[in-house]
C-alpha cells in the first residue's frame, strides 16, 4: 500500500513538473513573439501559459498584445487580472522585457 501511494505521488509530481516546464516554454515564446512585435503569436503562447499558471506578468503582456491587436475588451480583462494578482506588475513586466525572460 505504501509503495502504491509513493508511486502515485511520484507520478503526480512528474505531471506537475512537466506542465510547469512546458508552461515556461510558452512564456518564453510569448516574450520572444512580443519583442518581435508578432502580437498574434504572442497572444496564443501567453494564453496557453496563463491557462496553466496565473502569472501577473504574463496577463499584463497578454493585455498589451490584445491591445495591439485592437481587442480592447480582452485587453482590459487581462490587465484587470494582472493588477488583481499583483498591483505592482507594470514595472516587473517592463523589467522582464528588458532582461530577456525569467
Domain extent at residue 29: 2-99
Mean pLDDT for the stretch of residues 56-74 = 96
Helix axes 89-99, 56-68, angle to 10 degrees: 80
Mean pLDDT for the stretch of residues 33-62 = 96
CB 81 within 8 A of CB 61: no
- How far CA 88 is from CA of 7, 26, 47, in Å, comes to 41, 23, 21
Q: Which of 98, 29, 86 is nearest to 59 (CA)?
A: 86
Assess whether pLDDT exceeds 80 at residue 81.
Answer: yes
Q: pLDDT tens digits for 14-24?
A: 444 444 445 68
End-to-end CA distance of the chain: give it in Å, rounded: 41
Domain count for the chain: 1
Look up the CATH number of the domain holding residue 23.
1.25.40.10
Q: Is the dihedral of CA 80, 38, 93, 28 positive or negative?
A: positive
Amino acid at each position: 500500500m505504501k509503495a502504491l501511494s509513493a508511486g502515485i505521488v511520484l507520478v503526480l509530481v512528474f505531471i506537475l513538473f512537466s506542465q510547469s516546464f512546458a508552461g515556461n516554454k510558452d512564456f518564453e515564446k510569448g516574450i520572444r513573439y512580443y519583442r518581435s512585435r508578432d502580437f498574434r503569436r504572442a497572444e496564443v503562447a501567453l494564453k496557453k501559459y496563463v491557462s496553466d499558471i496565473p502569472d501577473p506578468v504574463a496577463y499584463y503582456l497578454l493585455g498589451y498584445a490584445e491591445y495591439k491587436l485592437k481587442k480592447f475588451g480582452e485587453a482590459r480583462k487581462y490587465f484587470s487580472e494582472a493588477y488583481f494578482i499583483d498591483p505592482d506588475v507594470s514595472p516587473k513586466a517592463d523589467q522582464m522585457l528588458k532582461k530577456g525572460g525569467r
